[in-house]
Structure 1
Amino acid sequence: MNDPYETTEAHLERLLGRALNSFDLPDATVGRLDSALAHASSLHSSHHSAVLDRVTYRHAYLLSDGSSLVLWELVHSTGRSGAEQHELYTEESEARLAASRLPSGFPGFATADGDSGSGATGLSFGDLGADLDADFELLAALMTAPPAALPRMYVPDNSADHARRVLRRAENSDRPGEETAGLLSVAFAHHITQVFGRQYRVDGKDAGFTLYEHAFLLLDGTETSLWEVEHTATPDGRHMCEVYGSEHTAREAMELRARVR
C-alpha cells in the first residue's frame, strides 16, 4: 500500500478517484486533505471466502497544521462483474457498517441450502402453497416489533453531517424534507442500530431487507431518529436506500416493497 515514490498528492488523487462514494465525504474533510504533507497506509482487516473478498485499509495523513486525519477504505468484489470496488469512510464504525451491508455480509441473509435462486425449476401446487406461506412469513416478520433495544451509546462525531449524508442517499420521494434536515443540523451525537435484517424469496427472487435506526441527540437535549430501509427488492436486484421519519412508516414501506416488485 505504501509506494515510496508516490507523493501524498498523487496518493490522494488515486484514492479519491477510485472510490465509488467519494462525493459523500464531508466537504470539510476533503478541504483538510488539501494540506496533507505525508501519508501512511496499512491493512486493517481482511476476509476472503468463495462468495466474498473484503479488505479494509487505514490511510493516515499528517496535515500542515500538525494534526492528523484518517480515512478508512473498504475494498470488495461483490459487484456483478466481480471487479474490485472501493469505498471511503471517515470513521472505522462507518466502514464496518458498510461491510456488514455487503450482499454476502448481511447477517442471516444466506439461504439454508446455499441456493442462490438461479436456474430453472418446476412448480407444483405444493410449491405454490409453500411460496404463499413464505410470503406471509415475510410480511409478518417485516411488521413485527423488534425486541427491546439496548441503551443507546451516543457518539459525538460530526453527527449533523452524518444526518445530511443519510438524507442525501435516500431515493424515496417521501423522505423527510427540509424541516427535518434543519432540525438535524444541530445534532451533535448519534447512534446507529440495526433493527431488522433478513433475506427472503419474493416473486421467485432473493430479496434482502435491512432496517437501521439513526438516533440523534440535539443541542437542546432532545432525541430524534431517521429510519433507513435498505433492500434489493427492485426489478433488477439493485441495492436501494430509503429513509423515513418513523419506524412504522419504514416497516410499511418494507411491506409494500415485499408485495410489489
Structure 2
Amino acid sequence: MNVPDELYETTETHIERLLGRALNSFDLPDQLVERLDSALAHASSLHSCVHSGPQHRLTYRHTYLLADGSSLALWELVHNTGRDGRDQHELYEEETELRLAAARLPDGFSGWPNPLGASFTVEDAPGRGLARGPEPALGYGPSAPAPWTYEPDGAADHARRVLRRAENADRPGERAAVRLRAAFAYHIRQVFGRQCGPADRYTGFTLYEHAFLLLDGSETSLWEVEHTATPDGRHMCEVYEEERAAREAMELRARVR
C-alpha cells in the first residue's frame, strides 16, 4: 500500500505546502502567518466531504501546536469546480469564513449568480417548494434540487449566531431559540442570490436556508435574508422561521429600494 509523502513531512514543510498551494494565502493576516513560524507539531482532519457527479467539495481543519503552548487552526477548502476541473485550495482563519466560501461555490449542486448581477438561482428541494403566484420583482424560478448533507459540529452555536445577527423586528423569538438549543447537526444552502440596480448602486439579495437536525430526530430551518436594500447601502441580515415570510420580505425590499 502506498502511503502519501505528506504523512511524514515536517510541520515546517506542511505549512509551506499549505500556504504555497492556497489561491488566497495573501489574504491571511500577517500576524497569523508569523505565529505559524513557531509551530512545533500539526494534525489535519477531514471536516466535511460532498460529491456530486465528477465534482467534489472537501473541507479540512489543520491544527498547530505553537512554541508558547497555544494552538492555532487553519480551515482549508478544496474543490474542483473551476473550468479545468483541477483541485483548487483556499485557506481561512475562521470556520465561518470557510462555510461562506463553500456555500458560494458553483459546485454542481446549484447555479451561482453572475458576479455582475446578470443571473440568479433558486433551489427547491423535494417537498420544500412554494406555490408560485405572479412573477415576483426579483424574478426567481425553480432549478435542480440540492443534495442534503448535515454537518455534526457546533449546530447549536451556529443557530445562536444566526439569531443574534437578525435585525428584523419580526425575527424568531425565544421559543425558536430554546428549540434550537437541541440542534446537533446543521446544513447551509444558498437558495437564491441576485444583484440588481444601476452599475453605480447595486442592491444585493441572498437567501440562505440553515437547516438543523434536532436531538429528537426532527428537523427545523431558519431562513436568512442578506441584502443591501438599506437607505445607506449597508449590509443587513433578516431571519425568519418560514421560507414564505423570507421571500415576501425580499420582494418588499426589492420593490421599495
In structure 1, runs of 5+ residues without a counterpart are 1-39, 74-86, 101-105, 113-135
CA change 1:197–1:99 in 2 (3 A) is closer
Matched, 1:245 2:241: yes
Please tell me whether the aligned partners of residues 232 and 239 of structure 1 are also in contact (alpha carbons under 8 angstroms). yes
CA change 1:180–1:147 in 2 (3 A) is same
- Which residue of structure 1 aligns with residue 137 of structure 2? 139
TM alignment of 1:208-247, pairs within 5 A: 208-247=204-243
CA change 1:98–1:169 in 2 (3 A) is farther
**Deviation at residue 208 of structure 1 after TM alignment:** 0.8
Q: Where is the helix percentage greater, Structure 1 or Structure 2?
A: 1
- Which residue of structure 1 aligns with residue 73 of structure 2? 70
Alignment deviations for residues 171-207 of structure 1 (CA, whole Å, 9 cap, x no partner): 1111101110111101000011000011111798311
CA change 1:251–1:95 in 2 (3 A) is closer
- Which residue of structure 1 aligns with residue 98 of structure 2? 93
- Which residue of structure 2 aligns with residue 11 of structure 1? none
Aligned to 1:157, what secondary structure does the other structure show?
Answer: coil
Code of the aligned partner of 1:45:
A
- Which residue of structure 2 aligns with residue 107 of structure 1? 113
Please tell me whether the aligned partners of residues 180 and 214 of structure 2 are also in contact (alpha carbons under 8 angstroms). yes
CA change 1:111–1:160 in 2 (3 A) is closer
- Which residue of structure 2 aligns with residue 12 of structure 1? none
Matched positions, count? 175
CA distance in 1, matches of 2:214, 2:66: 31
- Which residue of structure 2 aligns with residue 187 of structure 1? 183
Please tell me whether the aligned partners of residues 195 and 203 of structure 2 are also in contact (alpha carbons under 8 angstroms). yes
Code of the aligned partner of 1:168:
R
CA distance in 2, matches of 1:70, 1:47: 16
Residue among 23, 32, 39 paired with 1:46: 23
TM-score calculated relative to the size of structure 2: 0.56
CA change 1:55–1:208 in 2 (3 A) is farther
Please tell me whether the aligned partners of residues 202 and 258 of structure 1 are also in contact (alpha carbons under 8 angstroms). no
CA change 1:178–1:255 in 2 (3 A) is same
Alignment deviations for residues 134-187 of structure 1 (CA, whole Å, 9 cap, x no partner): xx9761525x4x435223111101100001001111111111011101111010
CA distance in 1, matches of 2:254, 2:149: 32
**Deviation at residue 109 of structure 1 after TM alignment:** 3.5
**Deviation at residue 98 of structure 1 after TM alignment:** 8.1
Question: For the aligned residues, what is the CA RMSD?
Answer: 3.9
Aligned to 1:167, what secondary structure does the other structure show?
Answer: helix
Code of the aligned partner of 2:139:
A
- Which residue of structure 1 aligns with residue 83 of structure 2? none
Code of the aligned partner of 1:154:
Y
TM-score calculated relative to the size of structure 1: 0.55
CA distance in 2, matches of 1:236, 1:45: 35
CA change 1:88–1:169 in 2 (3 A) is farther
CA distance in 1, matches of 2:217, 2:24: 40
- Between stretches 147-156 and 187-196, larger displacement belongs to 147-156
Aligned to 1:180, what secondary structure does the other structure show?
Answer: helix
Aligned to 1:93, what secondary structure does the other structure show?
Answer: helix
Please tell me whether the aligned partners of residues 190 and 208 of structure 2 are also in contact (alpha carbons under 8 angstroms). yes
CA distance in 1, matches of 2:181, 2:158: 10
Alignment deviations for residues 62-88 of structure 1 (CA, whole Å, 9 cap, x no partner): 389x99652559xxxxxxxxxxxxx95
CA change 1:71–1:176 in 2 (3 A) is farther
